[in-house]
Structure 1
Amino acid sequence: MFNFSYQNPTRIVFGDGQISQLGQLIPAGSRVLLTYGGGSIKQNGVYQQVMDALKSHQVLEFSGIEPNPGYETLSKAVALVKAERIDFILAVGGGSVVDGSKYIAAAALLEQDGWAILEKKARIKAALPLGCVLTLPATGTESNANAVITRQSTQQKLAFSHPSVYPQFAILDPKVTYSLPAKQISNGVVDAFVHVMEQYLTYPVNAAVQDRFAESLLQVLIEEGPKALNEPENYDVRANVMWAATMALNGLIGVGVPQDWATHGLGHQLTALYGLDHAQTLAIVLPALMQQQRATKRDKLLQYASRVWGLQQQDPERQIDEAISYTRAFFEQMGVPTRLTAYGLPASSVDELMAKVMAQGMAKLGEHGDINYNVSRAIFTAAV
């Protein structure tokens, strides 16, 4: 196990009716900017719960944050924060709203344009405090310091991370997920699953706690994911999915171990070019990457096959084949196709994707830095 330092400052407030705690979680006298997406929170009752809890606070609103939060939209929010002297940001929504709010919180205190945080890695000295009410379990952003932002004008999708954008708190009420469309539940489960895999499916470093924890999260998602589609108002199922998605990327299973993140890096190019959902891109890339990298990931692939899927074969290569096949089948069972052609993208899209990969300088991806341009092309080709 590698050396590590771990601290997660986000307070998790979990369970039915916990939105009512907002008034105590946000300091009295705060000028709050409530951020959200397309307005579904006004149909499912979450907006009213939030406003009832904040009746003693000054609240301004900013809506319209996209599923892949856009720089152009978020820049308007940054201007509003500055003009209205906002001192607390409350994100109400899924991962995109929270990611976008992290960007707003950091960019509002930056002297230069906020895009410099992503493109030029401008130094973040501080950020406005923020909290969140999570409505879609998927990204884990509610308790980490990461965010991914898209710039439509340049077709870029870039990430940043800084301790100052950890949410101070995250309210997780499984009941608010009951009204989610099946597609969003499917995407959320796949997203969380791949988050675990990016930290788990690398090479052994004798990190038994992290491995077993990761395997248990994968099994929970495999067991509970389909149930969440079939039993949309089963509180226990939704609670387990929600908590698994948070634990998948709050940093705990990633300490002391090598991490990959090539699936995300390549997947981001699919979103930037073709607008595919984030989870859809992950479902396309991961099985192909597992096949392409089976030699360097061999030990963990065999462990994954045995411990997660219960596969026991005399032939190790067949065991790996079956583990990859089971992974692909799980994504398909969740309603998330795993081939480019399933989304109407022809084989020629590989050339477009590789041009984007090269433009981004993504020549050394993966836990060994050995996923170069040629390997990336092979992965995309295998995913057709």
Structure 2
Amino acid sequence: MQDFVFHNSTKLIFGKDKEQLVGQESVSYSKKLLLHYGGGSIKNSGLYDKVVSSLREQNIEIFELGGVKPNPRVSLVREGVAICKENDIDFILAVGGGSVIDSAKAIAAGAHYDGDVWDFFEGKSTIEACLPIGVVLTIPAAGSESSSGTVITNEDGWYKRSTGHITMRPQFAILNPELTYTLPSYQTACGITDMMAHILERYFTNEKNVEVTDRLCEATLKTIINNAHIVIEEPTNYAARAEIMWSGTIAHNDSLGVGRIGDWASHDIEHELSGIYDIAHGAGLAIIFPAWMKYVYKHDINRFVQFANRVWDIEIDLNNLEKTALAGIKKTEQFFSSIGMPITLKEVNIDSDHFEEMAKKGTENRPLGNFVKLNEEDVLNIYHLAK
């Protein structure tokens, strides 16, 4: 186990009707804020009215910026930065899922910077401070409600890139599982896949003697697996929704990664996919992660055997460890498919036209991954495995 410092400052407020507390939580940070959200869903559900009412009870001045899309765009981020600077806004409230929160984080960083916010994503500048952020979570998936990172897409070249800083962690996040009842089953499944991928990125490590976090990763994965079909088949099952929502937060608040170095190649490979084709991030991960597994499993077959046994309850064949490892990968694919996720590029009508472009863009600054370092040819091979 490696040395580590773990610090997560986000206040998590979990439970029924907790969105009604957003005003009193926000007022301690500002009397003027930017309310950031996506499309019309929060208005159709009545959540928008609840949030605005709670804020107005505290006499908070509200500026609004809606329109966040999945795979959030830097053009809207720039618009948000301008609003914050022009109106001396010193707090951002994100109401939505990971895309809204990531967009809010990028705005928060850009508002403290004289240059273009995309500089942070290209590595031309380093984030030093962000405006404080609050969250009302509506989609359990990305874990952005308490993470220190953000992912944004630049329409100029369709680059999807990440950046982060400790000040990007939201000051508070309100998590009410009831707010997820109306999510379409496909969106629910995408979120489940995303949170599982966050755990798997940390699980597949070269670090030895990390049993505590191994077991925590395995337990969280099994909890997600056990409740996935319930939330899809029974959308208003509060108990199952609560398990999924809390798992999504745990998956990406960094507690499962302490003392170990995660991989993150699958996320980077998928970013090129959704950057160009604009598919749902979770769907892209369901396609790419099993392909990555098939490509690298021989690097540490014992870890893949452990994964198969502890997560999928596959009996270990001591005479054929490879058989056990491959069975675990197969079970992963089957699970993604069972909740309605695609597991091949063909299923989402993506051919090989941009494989070389994506492999080149993804590796132009560095090899991908830590479990196994992947160059351009490796990434290209993984895209072909995912066909």
TM-score interval, normalised by the smaller of the two chains: over 0.9
Can you list the C-alpha shifts for 1:85-108, whole angstroms capped at 9, x where unaligned? Answer: 111100000000000000001101
Counterpart AA for 2:381: A
Residue among 131, 135, 140 paired with 2:138? 135
**Paired residue for 1:162, among 162, 165, 187?**
165
Give the secondary structure class of the aligned counterpart of 1:180. Answer: coil
In the alignment, the residues of structure 2 paired with residue 361 and residue 379 of structure 1 have an alpha-carbon distance, to the nearest angstrom, of 19
**Normalized against structure 1, the TM-score is what?**
0.97
* 1:50 aligned residue: 51
1:21 and 2:21 correspond: yes
Among candidates 177, 182, 206, match of residue 179 of structure 1 = 182
5+ long unaligned stretches in structure 2: none
Name the residue aligned to 1:312. 315
Instruction: Give the whole-Å Cα distance in 2 for the aligned partners of 1:246 and 1:368.
Output: 24
Q: Is the 8 A contact 1:340 1:383 kept in 2?
A: yes
1:267 maps to which residue?
A: 270
User: What whole-Å deviation, never above 9, does each CA across 1:207-230 have from its counterpart, x for those lacking one?
Assistant: 111011000111011111111100
Q: Distance in 1 between matches of 2:7 and 2:362?
A: 33
Indicate the residue corresponding to 2:349 in structure 1: 344
What SS does the aligned partner of 1:295 have? helix
The whole-number CA distance in structure 2 between the counterparts of 1:57 and 1:368 is: 48
TM score, norm. by length of structure 2: 0.96
How far 1:346 sits from its partner (Å)? 2.0
Which runs of structure 2 are paired with 1:208-227 in the superposition (5 Å)? 208-227=211-230
Deviation at 1:120, TM superposition (A): 2.8
Q: Does 1:146 align with 2:188?
A: no
Structure 1 position 204, deviation (Å): 4.8
Distance of 2:124 and 2:2 partners within structure 1: 26
Residue 45 and residue 163 in structure 1: after superposition, are their counterparts in 2 closer, same or farther (change >3 A)? same
Deviations 1:34-66 (A, max 9, x none): 000012100112111111211121111110011
In the TM superposition, residue 369 of structure 1 has moved relative to its aligned partner by 5.0
Aligned equivalent of 2:248:
245
Cα contact 2:283–2:341 (8 A) shared by 1: yes
**CA separation in 2, counterparts of 1:287 and 1:123?**
34
The answer to whether residue 93 in structure 2 is matched with residue 90 in structure 1 is yes
Instruction: Give 2:39's aligned amino acid.
Output: G
Equivalent AA in structure 1 for residue 33 of structure 2: V
Letter in 2 for 1:214: C
**One-letter amino acid matched to 1:238:** R
Partner SS for 1:86: coil
Contact between 1:19 and 1:173, CA under 8 Å: does it hold in 2?
yes
Q: Give the SS at the match of 1:61.
A: strand
Query: What is the CA–CA distance in structure 2 between the aligned matches of 1:121 and 1:159, rounded to whole Å?
Result: 13
Q: Aligned equivalents of 2:63 and 2:115: distance in 1? A: 24
Percent identity of the aligned residues? 37
Do the aligned residues in 1 keep the contact of 2:261 with 2:370 (CA within 8 Å)?
yes
Letter in structure 1 aligned against 2:350: L
Map of 1:361 onto structure 2: 365
Cα distance in 1 between the residues matched to 2:300 and 2:218: 16
Q: Confirm or deny that 1:203 pairs with 2:229.
A: no
Residues 120 and 349 (structure 1 numbering): CA distance in 2 closer, same or farther, change over 3 Å?
Answer: closer
2:66 & 2:236 partners in 1: Cα distance? 27
Aligned pairs, how many?
Answer: 382
Match of 2:336 among 331, 341, 363: 331
Query: 2:235 matched to which residue of 1?
Result: 232
Match of 2:10 in 1: 10
Gaps of 5+ in 1: none
Q: What is the CA distance between 1:122 and its match in structure 2?
A: 1.0
Q: Distance in 2 between matches of 1:160 and 1:354?
A: 20
When residues 348 and 23 of structure 1 are mapped into structure 2, their CA distance, relative to the original with a 3 A threshold, is closer
- Measured on the aligned residues, the alpha-carbon RMSD in Å equals 1.3
1:60 correspondence with 2:60: no
- Looking at structure 2, the residues matched to 266 and 230 of structure 1 have their Cα atoms a distance apart, in angstroms, of 31
- Shift of the 324–201 alpha-carbon distance from structure 1 to 2, 3 Å rule, reads same
The answer on whether the counterparts of 1:204 and 1:299 sit within 8 Å (CA) in structure 2 is: no
Shift of 1:356: 2.9
